[in-house]
Structures are given as C-alpha cells and as structure tokens.
Structure 1
Amino acid sequence: MMKKAFTLLASLVLPLTALQAQTAQRPLQLSDLYRMRDVADPQLSPDGAWVAYTVTRADSTTDKRDADVWMARTDGTQNLRVTTAPASEAKPRFSPDGKYLSFVSSRGEEDGGDAQLWLLNRAGGEAEKVTKLKGSVSDYVWSPDGQRLALIIRDADPDSLTAAQKAKKKTAPPIVIDRFQFKKDVDGYLNKQRQHLYIFDVASRKLTNLTPGVYDEHLPAWSPNGQQLVFSSKRGSDPDRHDNYDLYLMDAKAGATARPLLTTDVAESSPGYGSRPVWSPDGRRIAFVQGGPREQLVYALHQLMVVEVGNGTVKALTAGRDRNTTKPQWAPDGKSLYFLLEDDRATSLARVPAAGGTINTVLGGAREVNDFALAGNGKLVVLSSLPQAPAEVFGLDKKGTPKPLSQQNDAWLKGV
C-alpha cells in the first residue's frame, strides 16, 4: 500500500512540475516579498466610473511600510497614483456628489502623529487637511447629501511625549493600570482614552461630539435621509468585562441621545469582525452581522441579519448555513443583499433576497474575495486573490466575469 501511495503521489506531482517549468522563469524568492504590493479597500465613485483603493509597499532599507491612494477607471482604460507623500494615506472615500476624494493620514504630524481627515478636490489642487485634532480619526462616513461626515475620533493620549520632549530624553510618565482590559494588540496599553462619534460640517469645518462619555463607538452608518445614525457600541457598568456589542440609533444633531436599536446577549456588528451595519435604500431596515454565544469566542458563527427599524423585528437571512458571513451591502433596488461568505478555505461574493431565500454565488471558486464595492447604478468591483496571485481589484461584468483593474503586481509576477 505504501508503494502504491508513493506512485500515486509521483503521478500527481510530476505533471504539475512540468507545467511549472513551462510557465515560470524562476521560483519565488524572499526578496520578492518586498516587491509585493498590498492592494486593499476598493471604493467606487458615485457614478461607478472610478474605483479608489490603497497600495501598501514595504521598504527594506527603512523597515517601514508606506500606503498610497490610487484610482482606476472601471472600464480598464486608466490606472493612476493619487498620493505620493512619505506618510501613509488610508480609507479613501468619494463624496456623494463625486467632488471630493477624502482620506485619513498623519502626514505633517510629529512622529507619524494622529491621523487627520483630508479632502482632495478632484477638479485639481493639493489635498487639504480639514481636521486639526488632538486625537486620531479612525473611521468616517459621508452623509447622503455630502454636507457632513460622521467621524470616529479617538481621544488624544494625555501621557504621550512630543518630539522635543523625546529629544531631551524626558522620562515618560508611569503606566497606571486601572482597567480590567488594560492592554490590546496593536494599540498597546489602554488608559482612559475613548473613541467617540462626531459630526463634521464640511462648509463650516465645525466639529460636534455626539457621544461624550466613557464608552467607545464603532462603525457608524447614515440613514438614507441623513437624519439618523446607527453605530455599534459595547456598554454597561464595565464594558471591559464583556464582548457584547449592540446597535444604537441616534439623531444626527448636537444634544441627541443614543438609544438601543437592538440589545441581545450576542454581539451585533463587532468591530473586530469589520462589518458595518447598512441601511436599506428606503430606510426601513438595517442589515448587520450578528455573532454567536460569548462562550464560543472567535469560533462563534456570524450570520447575516436584518432588523426592522420601526419595531425591532429581526430576521436571519443565512439561518441554517453553517458558514460565516461578512460585509453586507444592499442592492440599489433594496430587494436583495450582497455579502461575503466563507466556505472550504475560500471566501465568495454571494447574494440573497432581502426577504430570505436561496443564496446565490456571484463570484466564487478557489479564491479569496476580501472586499467589494457596489455603486448606485449597479456597478460592482471586488478585491480578490488567488493561490498564485496577491489580491487585486477587479470589475465584474453582467456574467460575473472578473476584469483586472488595479494590476499592481502584474509586472514582477511575470518573472516568477
């Protein structure tokens, strides 16, 4: 039996090796990793004619990574770099009227500093830094009319040292631990800093804190009429001692009070899972991703759900499907939802009727669909990788066939 097994293995490996010899000039090398470009965060313009995305490169000489914003025409005719500053740019977003391309960056700040919001007028000119905060913008979304933005801003660290203080070798204050959850991956030690929901008026540059207090807010989304916001927050007497995020609604104006839309014993729109709640085009429903029992931790199943804003009625659209879902988006007509579906070492783009029913695969196979964007005219782009190629942005035609748009890794892959 052992001899037969080796014979079978050889019969499978030899044809593959011969095929590789015909198509590849040399094997992948460690130095190739510095040539690899990490493409992420595709965002469509309102008319669907352009897709903005980020490209991150590693620099072996400085041991740093730099991210820039790029744009590509969705017809495949043009691909251009938008930002070239040494500091990284992230979260590119088009304003609803298409006039601005916004992003966050710490360019011009000491030692990288706090990320601020920048607006780039697509008619021409330099990008303008429109927030000058003692704190960092971690997330933001445009209002439907383009006159305001909802920002998530993290409080400034009161114990951080300036570049001048560091140059004088001033000793940093001691770290005082008075929280149950005192440290977090990437963020490091946690103090009393929180991140709050703000409204930013584009014309007046006025910033209003909607949720002062001792809680952290995440993943805001505007109602279609621009009058309300939904967001995810973990509250209670001691939020450090649980991981149960709930959805909250509030009017998008100063002095408004956040009220629970959905409070359960499982997590709704957990920020760790990166799925923003989304309003239906008619504003009557909100789609979101719901986690499982807290005892299951990261192994809990995440399902696609829809809640009626008026009465809180909840419906599971992926009930009975033992697979995780992420990143729901409503179809422009509000009759169905697109989302990402994990299954068998791959992630597909899927679609399900808003009332529930059969789940259809839009783009599947042995690939990882990391992200996607949908325009109001139905234009669809995906961020997808294959076992033999890093993630790139693709447009999808009516038949669901991917068309290359970003092509950031094509040149160096040809020789590998």
Structure 2
Amino acid sequence: MEKRVIAAEDLYKLKSVNDPQMSPCGTKAVYVETSIQEEKHHYISNLFLLDLKTGEKVQWTFGEHRNTSPRWSPDGSRLAFLSSRSGKNQLYVMSAGGGEAKALTEEHLAVSQPVWSPDSASILVSLALAPEDTLEKAKEEDKQPQPLVVEDMRYKSDASGFVRNKKRQLAVADAETGKLKLLGFREYDCSDAAWSPDGKAIVFTSNMTDDPDQNLISDVYILSLDGHDLTKLTNSNGFYGHPSWSPDGKYVSFLGHEKEYLGATFSKIWLSDRETGELSCYSADWDVHISDAAVADFISGSVYPGLIWTEDSQGFYFILTDQGNTGVYYGSLEGQTVPVRFENEHVYGLSVHVQSHTAVLGISRPDHPSDLYFFDFSTGENRQLTSINEAFLNEVELSVPEAIAYKAEDGLEIHGWIMKPAGYEEGEKYPLVLEIHGGPHAMYANTYFHEFQMLAASGKAVLYTNPRGSHGYGQHFVDGVRGDYGGSDYTDLMSAVDYALNTYDFIDAGRLGVTGGSYGGFMTNWIVGHTNRFKAAVTQRSISNWISFYGVSDIGYYFTEWELGGNLIDDFEKLWHHSPLKYVKNVETPLLILHGEKDYRCPVEQAEQLYIALKQLKKETKLVRFPEANHELSRSGHPKLRIDRLNHIKEWFDKYL
C-alpha cells in the first residue's frame, strides 16, 4: 500500500504513552495512554497494566477523562492515581487486582503529586489553598465579579492564571478513609515532597525567605512528623528540586544549582549526608545538564523522576541531556558514572526496579512518536513493549532528519538537523523553513515533532538547530546568549542557513521561511527586522517589546534582568535596543503572528503591538488570536486550536513560498 503524507489533523490519530511505573515485584508496569477524542476535541488519558513477561496489556481505567499519575503502594497491593472525572483532579485508590476505584479526596479540592508512605498506609499529596480555606471546604468563588487585589510581584502564572493568594500545601491522606491532614506552612508554597525510608519525616522544597518576590530561590527542607522539627539542607542561594532519600536513610539527594549563570545554569546532583550534615555537589565537574531539556510538540505530561536510588543505597540512575539526546546514566557513591542507555533518541520516561536493575523507558524518535521499552541495565536486554501508533506509522510517510554540524562566525561548532520534504526527488528544488526553539535554554532533540513532519509533508525542507543558548553542549555554550539576544545567536542561525544552502543543492535560496515560538518567536521577529532573505515568516507566542514584557509577563521582571542584563528602571535603552519592535520599519517579510489570548508568559499585547505597528506601516501581516490559550498552546492546548495553529502555519508558507 502506498503511504500518504501527514497532515495537521493526524494529531487526532496519534497516541502517547507516559509516566511508566514498575510494580514492586518488577513483573508489571502501569502507564498512562493519552489520545484525543476528535468529535469533542478533548484529551483522554487512561491507565493500562502491562505484563512485562508476556506483553499482555489490560486497560484499568475507562471513560473520557484524564486519569494520570499512577503510583503503586510499596506493598504492591494497591494503586493510587489522579482523575479529573469530577471536574478537578482527585485522588483515587484501587486494588492491584483491578476493580472499582475509590475516591479519597473531596470534589472541592484539586490535588497533585501523590506519594505513598513506606508502610502503604498514607498518601502524601499537594494542593492549593488560600489562607481562609480549610480542608473541609475551600472558599466558594463569588459568581459576581470581584476585584483582584494584588500585593505580590508574582501574582499570576501561565500554568494556572491568577494565583489569588493561594499557596501549594502538603497534606497526608489516610489510604483507607481519605482523611486529610495538613502539614503546616500555610504562608509558603511547598511541593516536590518525598517520604523518608522509615516514614518519620518528609523532604520537600519551598521558598521561606522574607521576600520571595526578590529572593528567587528554592530550598530543600526536612520535616519531622513526630516533633514537627524543620531542618533546612540548602543555603537559600539557588534552585533545588526532585529530592529523594537513599533507601538506608543516610543521604538526601536532589537536583539543582546555585544560580551561577542564573536561569542558564546547568542542573547538578547534590547529596546531603544525614549523619554529618555535609552538603556536597556530586556532579560539580560535569559539563552536562541533569534533566530532560528536549522540546517537542507531541509528548506532554512527562514526569521527570529525579535520582532513582538502587536498593543497596550505593548508587542511582538518572536522565541527562547531551548533544541532542537524552539518556540514562548510573552514578555510584564512589564517583563512578557510566551511560547505561544513551542513543540517538529522547528518553522522556523512566521507571526502575531497583532490585533487578531493570527498567521501563518512554522513548521518542523523529520517526517514532512514542512507545515504552523494557531494558535490563545488567545484560543489555532491550524489548519494545508497546506499539500504540503502529497502524498510523504503516499508513504515513515520515521524513527522517539528517544530523548536521557547522561552524558559526566565530568558529564555534553548532549542531542541528535537516529534513527533506516528503516525496523528495533528485534534481528538484524545494523551499526551506528554518525552525527556532524557545527557551532559549532548551534543546531540539532526536524526538518526534508533529509540526516539522507536517511542513515536510507539504513539500518543504525543514532546518532546525541548537544555536548558542541551547542546552546539551556545555555550560559555556548555554550561557552564550545571555546579554547578547540578537547577537551571536542570530548569526548562528544565519550560518545554519548558509551551510544548508552551500551543502544541499535541492534547497531553493529564493524560497526561505522562518518560524519559532517564545524565544523562537522573539528571534523570528528579530530576523525579519535585520534581513530580507526570508520570503515568509511566522512568529508564535513571541516577545516584541522587552520594555512592556518586563511588567506584563509572569516572569518578566526577573527573566529580563537574567537574560538581557538590564531592568526597566535603569536600562530602558538597553531593553529597547534588544526589542524587535524597534526595527519594525525594516520588515519586508510577510509576517504571520500567532498568539494565545491567555498567554501570561508572553502576553498577547506583545503580538498586538507588533501587529499594529506593521499595519500602520502597511506591511504584509496577519494576526491570529487563540481564545483561552496559554503559552503551551502548541504542546498541550485545546486540540482544535492546535490543529488550527498548524494549518495557519502551513497555509502561510504555502502562500508565500
């Protein structure tokens, strides 16, 4: 059967598998399978049980809701998970033998991050409460309009909207009765919690400084559940998260950094010796980022596992980012580190059975969207466990990227990929679209990208790179963009285009397009204000004016200072110098502007300013606003709007290229 090319609407046919969790016995795994209900345009996530020996798969939850965060009880008898079936995420528990699930929390509460106690009797959860709320009854929102009283600088979030004085709180739920008990600290946000092996203490993260608006940090604390003694493990000088205990209780591990390069700092491994109180950085000499920095538009809901300790407390497994890939490493307390699974792929999920050193991994590749794999770290045994998109992959033709490396203007080596258009024929000429990722401290990777495949299917070559500022290529590299937005990062991208034109004779130099979102949107705006070599451009959820961004973004006041090295009060001209809006008179490239109306990261006024300025100058432009969409539109937004967005991009490039 002849394969067809992919379309934006194929997003409805794709499924993803995520958050695998191996059972305590190591013979089974539960995972989340997510799809999109096309008629109603909404996401469905259900839990599936997988027998790791036979490969048999059994669906455990049903319905058209989001069932997520499955967690086995340590004794293996029950499974806790979250479900949105009542409208908000509630905590449910079901028998490991299957059957009906029981709700443990009330409908007026929305909970997250379930963690079983070592004795399988309690479940730790996170929830948001205002000071006047109680566990029995959260304050009901008045249906009449009410003024929003703001006293903090960080009063809104792109993920959750206006905070309204609510704080993330920790509570313990009885696994039988569901009775909740708050752990205190109502005036602070507390999250990322884990139990001590003996169940007598909890480790968590919080910012308990006097002025958290200005003191942007995250500390690690231990709370004794007996005497409610609180011990701080870090020094209020950086960002730390993903805490966990060694099984013998001798160490608390976590990831983070001391803000040496502010938001561009690599995440490292830290160990707190509970006998001596000594805090040490395990990976101080490593020039890699301990986390998953890969960006894509298909895999959502990934849960980074932090460090996974072995049963003997002598080492741990973790995911790191390097050279366009993410993979699994093992580190021993003696300092030995070895890659146990590192290939040209994106490992986005990891669960390890620490007794047998076997694992279930969630993996994506450019031509293979999402599946789970069994891996034995001792023997190297590797088996694919799921084939959730097999029918789809048998039906469509996907473009397989070719890795490239080229020299920047200053000789620095830059890494990227190029995709040939679907139906490529030798001797033909094709348009090229340059894609620019957001962040900028993120990384394009060997992972599936629906937007790229759609553009290739429409007859275009796709070029995407990791210019300086990207993760995966060393601390100096990721720090290289700070204070220089529109400088070497811009020339890195232009060098990529030059390399592609000089290397591949199938690219038509007269039909070049460019697009990107967030930082990639800023750079798209910058590019069309500094060169006319592109015949079409699409800017998405972008920054056009750093001066207004400073005050309207949920991260504006500190992100601007961290990334540009200036603030609104003292460095007005510097902010304007780096603003694409300053160069709007130079724009000759037809520019499509895409923006979500509920984007608090890069608020929609950034798009409005750019659009009105271009229209006033009678430039070729169009603005498309997506209702109720935030900064995550392309990844986890409303399915119909995601499809609409992709088709607007395709149609704009079809028209002008």
Where do residues 3-18 of structure 1 align in structure 2 (5 Å cutoff)? Answer: none
The equivalent position to 2:30 in structure 1, one of 52, 57, 60, is 52
Q: Secondary structure at the match of 1:262?
A: coil
- Give the equivalent residue in structure 2 for 1:318: 283
Distance 1:176 1:59 in 2: 39
Alignment match of 2:89 (pick from 103, 112, 115): 115
SS at match of 2:213: helix
Q: Which one of the candidate residues 52, 63, 72 is aligned to 1:85?
A: 63
Q: Deviations over 1:139-184 (max 9, x none)?
A: 12001110111111212786765xxx8xxxx433232222210111
Larger-gyration structure (1/2):
2
Counterparts of residues 256-295 of structure 1 (less than 5 Å): 256-269=228-241, 276-293=242-259
- Is 1:367 aligned to 2:367, yes or no? no
Q: Tell me which protein shows more helix as a share of its residues.
A: 2
The answer to whether 1:387 aligns with 2:361 is: no
Partner of 2:637: none
Cα distance in 2 between the residues matched to 1:229 and 1:134: 26
- Which residue of the partner structure matches residue 204 of structure 2? 231
Please list the CA deviations of residues 48-86 of structure 1 after superposition, one character each: whole Å capped at 9, or x if unmatched.
Answer: 111111111123332221211112111242112111122
**Correspondence for 2:310:** 331
Gaps of 5+ in 1: 1-22, 270-275
Name the SS of the counterpart of 1:239 in structure 2. Answer: coil
Alpha-carbon distance in structure 1 between the residues aligned to 2:168 and 2:73: 23
Detail structure 1 runs of 4+ shifted over 3 Å in the superposition. Answer: 156-161
Partner of 1:11: none
Letter paired with 1:38: S
2:146 counterpart residue number = 173
Residue 73 of structure 2 is aligned to residue 101 of structure 1? no
Determine the structure 1 residue equivalent to 2:325: 346
Partner residue, 2:274: 309
| Cα distance change on mapping 1:66 and 1:225 into 2, 3 Å | same
Of the candidates 29, 33, 53, which is equivalent to residue 75 of structure 1?
Answer: 53
Quote the Cα distance in structure 1 between the aligned partners of 2:161 and 2:144.
18
Is 1:200–1:207's contact at 8 Å kept on the other side of the alignment?
yes
Give the distance between the partners of 1:183 and 1:205, measured in 2 at CA: 31
Map of 2:395 onto structure 1: 415
CA distance 1:258–1:391, change in 2 (3 Å): farther
Identity of aligned residues (%): 27
- Asked whether the 8 Å contact 1:102–1:119 carries over to 2, the reply is yes
Q: What is the alpha-carbon distance in structure 2 between the residues aligned to residue 26 and residue 318 of structure 1?
A: 47
One-letter amino acid matched to 1:353: S
Does the aligned pair in 2 maintain the 1:262–1:312 contact within 8 Å? no
Question: Between Structure 1 and Structure 2, how many residues are aligned?
Answer: 374
* CA spacing shift, 1:160–1:414, aligned 2, 3 Å: farther
1:399 aligned partner, one-letter code: T
* Counterpart Cα distance in 1 of 2:260 and 2:33: 36
Q: Distance in 2 between matches of 1:295 and 1:174?
A: 39
Note the C-alpha offset of 1:324: 0.6
Give the CA RMSD over aligned residues.
2.1
CA contact (8 A) 1:199 1:209 kept: yes
Asked if the contact 1:231–1:248 (Cα under 8 Å) also holds between the matched residues in 2, the reply is yes
1:344-375 alpha-carbon deviations (Å, 9 max, x no partner): 11101011112313x21111111011121112
Q: Does 1:147 align with 2:121?
A: yes
Please tell me whether the aligned partners of residues 45 and 94 of structure 1 are also in contact (alpha carbons under 8 angstroms): yes
Alignment gaps of 5+ in structure 2: 292-305, 397-657
Q: Which residue of 1 aligns with 2:111?
A: 137
* Matched AA of 2:383: K
Q: Which amino acid aligns with 1:221?
A: A
Which amino acid in 1 is paired with 2:30? A
Cα distance in structure 1, aligned partners of 2:191 and 2:115: 11
* Matched AA of 1:68: N
Aligned to 2:380: 400
Distance 2:144 2:38 in 1: 31
Pick the structure with more strand per residue. Answer: 1
Seen in structure 2, the aligned counterparts of structure 1 residues 30 and 204 have a Cα distance that, compared at 3 Å, is closer
Q: Match of 2:161?
A: 188
Asked whether 1:214 is paired with 2:214, we answer no
Q: Structure 1-normalised TM-score? A: 0.84
Tell whether the 8 Å contact from 1:159 to 1:173 is kept in structure 2 after alignment. no
Cα distance, 1:252 vs. partner? 2.6
**Which one is further off, 309-318 or 135-144?**
309-318
Aligned-partner SS, 1:414 = helix
What per-residue deviation string (whole Å, max 9, x for no partner) do you get for residues 83-137 of structure 1? 11222111001111111111111213xxx2x311101112343111011153211
> What's 2:601 paired with?
none
Deviation at 1:337, TM superposition (A): 1.2
Contact 1:50 1:74 in 2 (8 A): yes
Q: Give the CA deviation at 1:197.
A: 1.2
Offset of 1:24 from its aligned partner?
7.5
C-alpha displacement of 1:403? 1.1
Distance in 2 between the 1:194 and 1:265 partners? 22
**Aligned residue number for residue 559 of structure 2:** none
User: Aligned equivalents of 2:270 and 2:182: distance in 1?
Assistant: 30
Alpha-carbon distance between aligned partners in 1 of 2:159 and 2:121, rounded to the nearest angstrom: 33
Q: TM-score, normalised by structure 2?
A: 0.54
Partners of 1:231 and 1:55 in 2: how far apart? 29
Moved more, 222-231 or 150-159: 150-159
Aligned to 2:634: none
Query: Cα offset for 1:204?
Result: 4.1
Counterpart CA distance in 2 for 1:356 and 1:257 is 32
For 2:363, the aligned partner's letter is: S
* Residues 104 and 115 in structure 1, CA contact (< 8 A), matched pair in contact too: yes
* 8 Å Cα contact 2:209-2:215 kept in structure 1: no
Change in CA separation of 1:160 and 1:238 when aligned onto 2, cut-off 3 Å: farther
User: Closer, same or farther in 2 for the Cα pair 1:204/1:60, shift >3 Å?
Assistant: closer
**Contact 1:220–1:229 at 8 Å: present in 2 too?**
yes
Task: Supply the distance in 2 between the matched residues of 1:283 and 1:227 (Cα, whole angstroms).
Answer: 11
Aligned partners of 1:279, 1:25: CA distance in 2, in Å? 50
- Partner in structure 1 of residue 20 of structure 2: 42
Cα distance in 1, alignment partners of residues 58 and 351 from structure 2 = 19
State the Cα distance separating 1:338 from its structure 2 match. Answer: 0.6
Partner residue in 2 for 1:19: none
1:259 and 1:290 mapped to 2: Cα distance? 18
Compute the displacement of 1:185 (Å): 1.1
- After alignment, is 343-352 or 388-397 more displaced? 388-397
Opposite residue 228 of structure 2, the aligned amino acid is A
